[in-house]
Amino acid sequence: MKRVPPPLLVLLGLICMAANHYFFSFPKLVLPPYNTSGLVMFVAGILAGALGVRKFRSVKTNINPLRKPDLLVTDGIYRYSRNPMYLGQVFVIFGVAIYLGTLADIAIAAGCFLVMDLWFIRQEETVMRAAFGERFDDYCAKVRRWI
């Protein structure tokens, strides 16, 4: 099943946010110094995503969600989140949205989150369930989709 890679969705969201600030003047909802909490979220997103990628690489499994899964990873950061790479991307885009502080930016981030949750992750879970069966169901019962 071919589709847009999830990081491209985040990049498109970030480009839309940049365009909002270049072409439009939306009122700020999150004002300084509170908007700097977005930087913490951004860094947490980079860390979560990097830990997910690092774990996949350490066990030498397929990282591309457009290809068939070849290994069910359940340890490392995957003990806490079934989708740390998606979680990281969502934290990154929400971190930027909070830092920029407008409703338009937060709406873009929320849209990216919904697409990831309802389209990417749900489709991947169907593929994972077909590939790993009861082992995947047991994992889902123990570890939450996000956090």
Cβ neighbours for 66, distance < 8 A, ≥ 6 positions apart:
1, 2, 3, 5
Query: Model-level pTM?
Result: 0.94
Radius of gyration of the chain, Cα coordinates, nearest whole angstrom: 16
Q: How confident is the model at residue 102 (pLDDT cuts 50, 70, 90)?
A: very high
**pLDDT per residue as tens digits for the range 24-55:** 999 999 999 999 999 999 999 999 999 999 99
* Number of residues written out for the chain: 147
